[in-house]
Amino acid sequence: MAARNIADLREMICMSRLTYVDSDEEFSEDDGRLSRTFDTLSLSTSGTDSRQSSANSYGRTYSAMSPGTDSGIALNGSPEFSRGESMEFEPTPPKSRSKKKKRKHKHASNHVAENIPPKHEFPRADPLPPVGSGRNSSYSHRPSSSSSEGSTNEFKGHFTEAITNRLKQPEQKRGDFEEMLCYCDATVVASWLAQANEAVTNLTKWCHSQDNYVNFAHFWLSDFPPIQRIDIFKLEHGILLDHLGLAFAVGKESGKIRHSDLSKFLEAIYREYPTKLLRSRGEHLFLHYLDVLTSEREDSYKKLLSDVKCSTKNKQYAQLILAMRCFALASVWTAIVNFYRTLLGPDSTSIPVPLSTVAKSNPNRTRMNQAIRHGYVDVIHYLIRMGKVDPRDVDDHSRTLIFTAVMHNQPRVLQFLVQKAKPKIDVNKISDTGNSALHAAANNGNVVLVTTLLKAPGIHVDVVNPQTENATPLHLAVMHGHINVVEVLLCAKADRLAKMGDLTAIDIARDFGQEEVLQLLESDEY
């Protein structure tokens, strides 16, 4: 996957996304594509050394860079950027405080000066615009380096006014961690970005190989007890806290940062835990995030990685915040999937998929077909409820999901699709061969599938195939001698006199020597 360019980087770390999220809205699907390279958030990790820390009981180990190693971030200056480009940030004064508080803060800073890392110094530059929600967004376009000074100043004025208006909203609360972030060791965070990028790349390859995503989803929804989901989330949350302790080690040692401060900060950047992940539909949220992390949908991907519950006016602190969110999501989601993979044993049957094919495919439609084939009603319900797949969609042969369930002989799936799928699926829709799902079930002699289909609202028992001389399901069942299916169709008032060409079902039974079927058709009982 190609690395993001500087324009993508600026859009990722824009300040308009770093606001307190008051809404309890959960998640939505968007289209679009974006490469998932976390380490291009300007925290370069070239030439770094790593050390092991915090192994958990699920067999996962993390590595984090020792403070002081070269990460591409200068603790006393502006950050270094890839491609030989530079990005400068404009310092913004913190919230106004009383003079008394200012003097107290200054005194405290002098008292522990030897233990406090100096704050980052940023040259003056134009601020970054917010993420545009679409083509018509007021701030979706930024002036390039060749823009005139007038257009740049005009743009800066619009942006500054917009940000000022947002910060003046009295009802909008924001988590302010600027004083805490001055203690953050950027070299540690830089190493996390490299780990996150590698983790998501490997996760993407695995999720798009064979039936891995669908099998994991079924395990997660049905085979993994809820109490164990709570335990594993709790464990991973504790590990993230340990990592934050490493990144803020100087602040902890100087007594300026307490454990409760780290907990509040983690709650702001990993805001899904515990409320969303542990409540109703939390299992669906986890699978949704896994899909977004391993997909190429640009809008939903950006929204996921920038959905933090804090604000800052400092551009480099914004980078650190988003980098730590990237690491939190990548590490937790990868750890849980790896726990499942450990249970399975070696991935001897998993064939890697080139990442270039991920963006070209429609994985959720493929996953729906896989879930139907396996009989995973729970995964089918998830894909439909989350809007991943429209149940009315058809495949390349105009076959509905109902038709696919019949083809794979999955009565439980068929019952779910017929009775509970919303929007309703057209049970009488014919495929490109002219057959309906009822034709296919009658032709195969599967009385359970036929019975299930006949209970579907709006089913047409005498649906015809125009490509085979208006053959009905009864004609096909008679032709193959499926007496049980014939009986069920007759009970549903199938027309014995309907003609396939010039032949009725009775004529076909006589011509094919189906004596038992003939007696059934000529009986007065039906």
User: Is residue 465 predicted with pLDDT exceeding 80?
Assistant: yes
**pLDDT computed for residue 60 by the predictor:** 41
Residue 435 located in a structural domain: no
Residue 516 located in a structural domain: no
User: Is residue 494 predicted with pLDDT exceeding 90?
Assistant: yes
User: Is residue 54 predicted with pLDDT exceeding 60?
Assistant: no
DSSP one-letter string for 359-377 = TTS-HHHHHHHHHHHHT-H
Residue 298 located in a structural domain: yes
| Residue 451 per-residue DSSP state | H
Q: Which run of H or E residues covers position 282? A: helix 282-293
**Contact at 8 Å (CB) between 151 and 158?**
no
**Amino acid identity, residue 149?**
E
Give every CB contact of residue 323 below 8 A, 6+ residues apart in sequence: 38, 41, 43, 189, 190, 192, 193
What angle is formed at CA 334 by the lines to CA 330 and CA 338, rounded to 5 degrees?
Answer: 170
What is the pLDDT confidence band of residue 347, given thresholds at 50, 70 and 90?
low
Residue 19 located in a structural domain: yes
What is the pLDDT confidence band of residue 300, given thresholds at 50, 70 and 90?
confident
Least reliable range by pLDDT among 100-104, 123-127, 168-172: 123-127
User: Is residue 491 predicted with pLDDT exceeding 90?
Assistant: yes
User: Is residue 52 predicted with pLDDT exceeding 80?
Assistant: no
**Contact at 8 Å (CB) between 426 and 392?**
yes
DSSP one-letter string for 263-277 = HHHHHHHSTTTTTTT
Residue 432 located in a structural domain: no
Rounded to an integer, what distance in angstroms lies between the CA atom of residue 438 and that of residue 444? 10
**pLDDT computed for residue 132 by the predictor:** 31
- Closest alpha carbon to 379 in 416, 340, 333: 416
Average pLDDT value for residue range 8-14: 40
Residue 425 located in a structural domain: no
Structure tokens at 9: 């980087």
What is the pLDDT confidence band of residue 1, given thresholds at 50, 70 and 90?
very low
**Contact at 8 Å (CB) between 61 and 89?**
no
- Closest alpha carbon to 418 in 452, 461, 395, 390: 452
Higher pLDDT, 266 or 76: 266
**pLDDT computed for residue 298 by the predictor:** 77
The radius of gyration computed from the CA coordinates of the chain, to the nearest angstrom, equals 30
User: Is residue 521 predicted with pLDDT exceeding 50?
Assistant: yes
**pLDDT computed for residue 354 by the predictor:** 56
Q: What pLDDT digit, counting tens, does each position of 152-176 carry?
A: 344 334 434 443 443 343 333 446 7
Residue 373 located in a structural domain: no
The boundaries of the domain holding residue 257 are: 6-344
List of E strands, 194-289: none
Residue 44 located in a structural domain: yes
Rounded to an integer, what distance in angstroms lies between the CA atom of residue 419 and that of residue 396? 24
Average pLDDT value for residue range 381-393: 96
Average pLDDT value for residue range 73-91: 32
- Closest alpha carbon to 389 in 350, 423, 351: 423
User: Is residue 348 predicted with pLDDT exceeding 70?
Assistant: no
Q: How many C-beta atoms surround the C-beta of residue 149 within 10 A?
A: 8
User: Is residue 458 predicted with pLDDT exceeding 60?
Assistant: yes
Average pLDDT value for residue range 211-232: 95
Q: What pLDDT digit, counting tens, does each position of 351-373 carry?
A: 555 555 554 567 999 999 999 99
Q: What pLDDT digit, counting tens, does each position of 271-292 carry?
A: 999 999 998 889 999 999 999 9
| Overall number of domains in the chain | 1
Q: What pLDDT digit, counting tens, does each position of 204-221 carry?
A: 999 999 999 999 999 999
- Name the average pLDDT for the chain: 74
Higher pLDDT, 63 or 353: 353
**pLDDT computed for residue 147 by the predictor:** 37
